[in-house]
Amino acid sequence: MYSEDDINAAVDAGALSADAAASFRAYMTRVRNLPRGSEEDFRLIDSFNDIFVAIGIVILLVAVGAIGQAIAGAIVPVPNYSEIWGNNAYPSQAEIDAYYAARELQDSVQMALAGLFVAIAAWPLSEFFTRKRRMALPSILLLLAFVGGAFFAVLGTGTALALDGNDRIGALMVSFAALIGAGAAFLHWRRFMVPITIAAGVAGVAGTVIALILAAIGPDNIEENVVYALVFVAGLAVFAFAMRWDISDRERTTRRSDVAFWLHLLAAPMIAHPVFALLGVTGGDNPGIGAAFGVLAVYVVFGLLALIVDRRALLVSALAYVLFALTFLFQEFGAVELNFALTALVIGSALLSLSAFWQPIRRSVVGVLPKDLQAKLPTTVETAPARTATG
């Protein structure tokens, strides 16, 4: 399997002419009756070797993190009070407080060293498996390990330095750690340019802003719906940023489209979950008939939006809530024994039909939009022109 990035690299290296690359894309569009960009190419593995390497990376990073935790345990030991107190003695409150304080300090240092060791180990591995070998799945794992390691290293350090802090200080530490994670993603992008990196950095920025707002208001004074609202607004901002990358590559033949794919994948749950939480379908209880129909209406809106921008992330993120709502509705209207089967039948048929007729439906939806807006959206089968590869 070859991605658009590989085709563009072949053009840049002179192994493939720009006209040949454009002809290949046009040919695949005619054969499949679907623009290549509309397929949302998601290159995760090229061969079983990718899985083999990914397993090795996970095992190695787990071992490195465990070594960091062991070193932290030796640096900050927890007193074994069971030997001091004996079987029949009762500890004083001061001894109990000292024990739990030592445990919290050790946990913080373990988090910091484990994260630091994982981040340090992930960088040289990225030099080989990402920069040299260009392996997709290992590159994603290494990026997450580097950014996540940096985040937990800073968070663990901050926790160790402020064990007696309140919730406001805790929110500030989370915001600073998220900011460092975003900075780590930026460094990784500058060096390796893995498409998911931008999404990781944006997630860090979003986490920083939300945590700062919570710290300013005070975590104890914030209701759950306020947090949902903040996440929803952040999701809309991420979606707008994803569309900016999408608009810059309407035919989806460059790395910019891959970056937009991951940003849409990040924005989708940030938008979907707060909406359905406010409708009352995330608590596990019966949502009520009104809320269930509301879920279906929102999913239709998500479907129209997915067709317009030619991205399916919103539909996937909201799927679990629709299954829950439909199951509830079938049960309410008497189909108790077949509620799950009917739900699966309806959703499965709808998704397959939408996939089979995605382009005709999309052309109908996009066709009613203003011309200026259509000019910024991904191309359709009829309007997709042949073009030369660009970086």
Q: Measured between alpha carbons, how far is 310 from 203 in angstroms, rounded to an integer? A: 22
3-state class of 302 per DSSP? helix
- DSSP helix, strand, coil percent of the chain (3-state; round to 5): 75, 0, 25
Residue 56 token pair: 């090795």
pLDDT at 391: 39
Distance (Å, whole) CA 197 – CA 130 = 12
Sign of torsion, CA 339 344 347 353? negative
Tell me how far apart the alpha carbons of residues 281 and 172 are, in angstroms, rounded to a whole number.
31
pLDDT, position 324:
86
Tell me how far apart the terminal alpha carbons of the chain are, to the nearest angstrom.
19
Give the pLDDT confidence score for residue 222 in this predicted structure.
80
Quick one: pLDDT at residue 288?
Answer: 81
Residue 266 is predicted with a pLDDT of: 95
pTM, rounded to two decimals? 0.85
214 SS3 class: helix
The CA distances from residue 338 to 34, 265, 289, 321, in Å, are 36, 33, 18, 18
Kindly state the tokens that stand for 183: 């900075």
Comparing CA positions, the residue from 227, 224, 177 lying closest to residue 204 is: 177
Per-residue pLDDT of the chain (391 residues; tens, 9 = 90+): 556 666 766 776 677 777 776 676 666 666 555 565 566 766 777 788 999 999 999 999 999 999 999 999 899 888 776 655 555 566 677 777 777 888 888 899 999 999 999 999 999 999 999 999 889 899 999 999 999 999 999 999 988 887 666 778 888 899 999 999 999 999 999 999 999 999 999 999 999 999 999 888 887 778 888 899 999 999 999 999 999 999 998 888 888 989 999 999 999 999 999 999 888 787 666 778 888 899 999 999 999 999 999 999 999 999 989 988 888 888 877 665 677 788 888 889 998 998 888 888 998 999 999 999 988 888 765 544 444 433 3
- Which amino acid appears at position 22 of this protein? A
Residues in the chain: 391
Q: What does the alpha-carbon distance between residue 174 and residue 153 come to, in Å, rounded to a whole number? A: 11
pLDDT of the residue at 165: 64
Tokens of 62: 């787990």
Nearest partner of 204 among 245, 167, 150, judged by Cα: 150
CA distance 137 to 45: 6
**Which has the closest alpha carbon to 44: 262, 312, 311?**
262
Residue 82 φ/ψ, nearest 5 degrees? -65, -30
Cα separation, 325 vs 96, in Å, equals 48
CA distances from 157 to 34, 78, 83, 387 (A): 51, 18, 30, 51
